[in-house]
Amino acid sequence: MKNLWILPVFIVITLISCKNTENQSVTDDSETSSSQVAYAVYGEEFRREKDLDSREMSREYSKLQTGDTLEVQFTGTVESVCKNKGCWMTLDLPEEEEDVMVKFKDYGFFVPKDIENREVVLSGKAYIEEVSVEEQRHYAEDQGKTQEEIDAITEPKKTLSFLADGVLIKE
């Protein structure tokens, strides 16, 4: 009976030590000294260091071969997002015919489903992979494409990919 105070203290300490990294907010004042830009954080928080813009990232992808990886941070505009969970997104690269397919490390976090045309900063690994017909069809279905468009996918294709461990979404 004398040690009953230990249980509430343990519960309070446990609750305090658990932190939600899903939607923290950080500011970045690197753009100008007088204005700060706020970002929502998804996944691991990271410090912005030499992030590439989408044109620079396009040039980096052109140097990669299937199987190569490049640890990088880059800024881009969201083209589309998984409408089921927010478990993937695509980013537009102006100098490439295709968008970058972004997935999230260990399926450990998701992004909001309504962030098309928003600026994001990614931290993680860029790579090129071959995507199977089944996986392409799954993504087309997630995007809400018609059955005719889905059935037209008949061959695997090489895809610009990115495995993000952290995402900053400009607020």
Residues near 17 by Cβ (< 8 Å), separated by ≥ 6? none
**Cα dihedral 96, 41, 166, 111 in deg (nearest 10):** -60
Mean pLDDT of 141-154: 91
Task: Calculate what percentage of the chain has a pLDDT beyond 70.
Answer: 80
Coil vs helix vs strand at 169? strand
pLDDT of 2 reads 55
158/66 Cα distance (integer angstroms): 8
Residue 26 has pLDDT above 60, yes or no: no
Give residue 94's pLDDT band: very low, low, confident or very high (50, 70, 90): confident
Sign of CA dihedral 11, 17, 21, 26: positive
Residue 6 has pLDDT above 70, yes or no: no
* Span between the terminal Cα atoms of the chain, in Å: 51
Residues near 118 by Cβ (< 8 Å), separated by ≥ 6? 77, 78, 169, 170
Residue 97 has pLDDT above 90, yes or no: no
Coil vs helix vs strand at 124? strand
Q: Which domains does the chain have, with CATH numbers?
A: 48-170 (2.40.50)
Tell me, what DSSP letter sits at residue 51?
-
Give residue 139's pLDDT band: very low, low, confident or very high (50, 70, 90): confident
44/34 Cα distance (integer angstroms): 27
List pLDDT tens digits, range 41-83: 999 999 998 899 999 999 999 999 988 999 999 999 999 999 9
